[in-house]
């Protein structure tokens, strides 16, 4: 998406739509997980609870690091600094990672192919939202290009998965 050509009104509409999809998917996944409370046992309950707890810890850590710039919308606050410290040294969008993990834990608990489709929609939406936010950040923080080249978008770098030089490929 060529962000320079998108009007401010359309940016707000895009942002609100992505946030609405995010919360709708999480709500539906949560409702369907609650619907499965009657199940006598869950084989992967520890993994499901662990995913939700890790997701919550990641979101809390990101919230602390992002304090001056925190908002739900992918549109950055006016005059907000570019945050590259704390958990943001490892991943550019840790809150989205936390939401994905929470959705993953609840989807596992719900144990339904419908819920896994909702989780996939959530993951795709958050990836698009992250790209949109990155474009907006480059517009107000041109130096963020370097940061975006060296820090992974949603999943932390594993091994040598992040770029180590500044050459644009």
CATH class for the region spanning 6-36+46-150 = mainly alpha
Would you state the structure tokens that stand for residue 112, as one six-digit string? 């339904």
Instruction: Provide φ and ψ at 78, rounded to 5°.
Output: -60, 140
Q: Residue 20 pLDDT more than 80? A: yes
158 confidence band (pLDDT: 50, 70, 90): low
Share of the chain above pLDDT 90, in %: 63
Q: Say what the pLDDT of residue 169 is.
A: 47
pLDDT of residue 43: 81
Mean pLDDT value across residues 68-91: 89
The span from the CA of 33 to the CA of 48, in Å, is 11
pLDDT over 60 at 167, yes or no: no
- All structural domains of the chain with their residue ranges: 6-36+46-150
Question: Does the pLDDT value for residue 160 go beyond 60?
Answer: no
| Band of residue 3 on the pLDDT scale cut at 50, 70, 90 | confident
Q: Over 70: is that where the pLDDT of 168 sits? A: no
DSSP track, 95-109: HHHHHHHHHHHHHHH
Q: What is the pLDDT of residue 42?
A: 74
31-71 pLDDT, tens digit per residue, is: 999 998 777 777 888 999 999 999 999 999 999 998 878 88
Residue-wise pLDDT tens digits, 89-111: 989 999 999 999 999 999 999 98
Nearest to 82, CA basis, from 72, 92, 90, 96: 92
Res. 27: pLDDT tops 50? yes
Cβ density class 24-52: b for 16+ within 10 Å, e for less: ebbebbbebbeeeeeeeeeeeeeebeebb
- For the chain, the C-alpha Rg in angstroms (whole number) is 17
Query: What's residue 22's pLDDT?
Result: 97
- Euclidean distance between CA atoms 121 and 20, whole angstroms: 12
User: Considering only CA atoms, which of 110, 137, 92 is closest in space to residue 48?
Assistant: 110
| Model confidence at 18: pLDDT above 90 | yes
């Amino acid at each position: 998406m060529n962000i320079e050509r998108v009007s401010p009104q359309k940016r707000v509409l895009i942002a609100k739509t992505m946030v609405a999809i995010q919360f709708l998917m999480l709500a539906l996944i949560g409702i369907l997980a609650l619907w499965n409370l009657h199940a006598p046992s869950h084989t992967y309950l520890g993994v499901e609870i662990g995913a939700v707890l890790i997701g919550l810890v990641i979101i809390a850590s990101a919230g602390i690091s992002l304090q001056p710039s925190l908002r739900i919308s992918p549109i950055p606050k006016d005059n907000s600094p570019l945050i590259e410290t704390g958990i943001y040294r490892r991943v550019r969008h840790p809150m989205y990672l936390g939401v994905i993990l929470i959705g993953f834990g609840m989807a596992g608990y719900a144990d339904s192919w419908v819920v896994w489709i909702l989780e996939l929609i959530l993951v795709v939406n958050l990836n698009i939202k992250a790209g949109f936010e990155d474009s907006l950040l480059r517009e107000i923080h041109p130096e963020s290009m370097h940061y975006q080249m060296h820090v992974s978008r949603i999943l932390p770098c594993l091994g040598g998965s992040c770029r180590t030089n500044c050459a644009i490929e």
